[in-house]
Amino acid sequence: MLAQLLDTVSDCLPCSRTGSPMQESALTTILLPAALGLIMFGLGLSLAVADFRNVLARPKAVAIALVAQVIVLPAICFGLVILLGLEPLLAVGMMLLAASPGGTTANLYSHLFGGDVALNISLTAVNSILAAFTLPVVVNLSLSHFVGDSQDIGLQAGKVLQVFAIVLIPVAVGMLVRHWRRGFADRMEKPVRILSAVVLAAVIAGAIVQERDRILDYLASVGLAAVLFSAISLTIGYWLPRLFKVERRQAIASGMEIGIHNSTLAITIALSPTLLNNSTIAIPPAVYGVLMFITTLAFGYLVRRDTEVASP
């Protein structure tokens, strides 16, 4: 019975077990973009224009975090996939993940472990805009390096505009709703966040079901890379600001923002028929989306303990 259910679900998913471009389906053409739009809309509900202005009040913390996100982490991820010898499309999936911004999950973890949530919100706002420009660059360079001829699955000009649209337009709509209907936005923020978490779990489950015949192989080949990258991202996100004398609460916020990548965005870009259209590229973000909860909780515990020890 379970096998029949899995086969039914799998038939509804785009079919590529070899890394070749996937057939279009309702999931990839409608549900995934709609799900991501909902998540980014929910992000917009928590943002206001003042959050962008607040960046000026924390210039050092913001600058360090953005440099880590845009330059340091992609460079480290590149070295990591080379060192571990990942197959080309899995390496591209890791680079896509590295180029993806943080999201509302980072705000939640920052709150739980004593971070400066206001800084998280400011970083999320700026990071979401930057990612619309930097993510296609990282993906195309990665495809060129690891795959060679990336013309069939790269992000050319038209596709870059689509990335820009799916990242920024829902956020802008959410911000407008918050500006015009603040009470409604406050009421909807929690339900949308919960629904977003459910969507994330469903997307990851769908990717796992689709590749269930090779899931152990994928865990063996990319699980270590996902765990190491998660741990490295969290560590750099926290200790790089501390190295430059950023106060502890802001460093915790930076650690969560830089350390928790938007795997839903990465999976959507990988699976969308109008973007990368490749299920193998989606595997690293899907595996990361499960494993990062473990590394983030461990990181949060260690940071909180360090904070308590440092406190008088």
Query: Would you state the pLDDT for residue 159?
Result: 52
Task: Give pLDDT tens digits for 216-242.
Answer: 777 888 999 999 999 999 999 999 999
Pair 263, 229: CB distance under 8 Å: no
- Domain segments of the chain as ranges: 26-305
Is domain 26-305 annotated with CATH 1.10.1040.10? no
Q: How far apart are CA 85 and CA 140, in angstroms?
A: 19
Secondary structure letter of residue 23 according to DSSP: P
Q: Is 239 left (phi over 0), alpha (psi -120 to 50) or beta?
A: alpha
pTM of the shown model: 0.73
Which of 23-27, 89-93, 287-291 is the least confident region? 23-27
Query: CA separation (Å) from 80 to 73, 93, 95, 307?
Result: 10, 13, 10, 30
pLDDT above 90 for 92: yes
Dihedral angle over CA of 304, 308, 311, 312, nearest 10 = 170
35 alpha carbon, distance to own chain's centre: 14
Q: What is the DSSP string of 263-285?
A: HHHHHHHHH-TTTT-BHHHHHHH
Task: Give pLDDT tens digits for 131-175.
Answer: 878 888 898 899 989 987 555 545 555 555 666 666 677 778 888
Task: Give 186 or 32, the one with higher predicted confidence.
Answer: 186
Q: How far apart are CA 133 and CA 9, in angstroms?
A: 35
CA nearest 281: which of 172, 169, 152?
A: 152
Task: Give pLDDT tens digits for 255-284.
Answer: 998 998 888 788 878 887 777 878 889 889
Query: Would you state the pLDDT for residue 191?
Result: 77
Query: CA separation (Å) from 63 to 47, 240, 301?
Result: 19, 11, 26
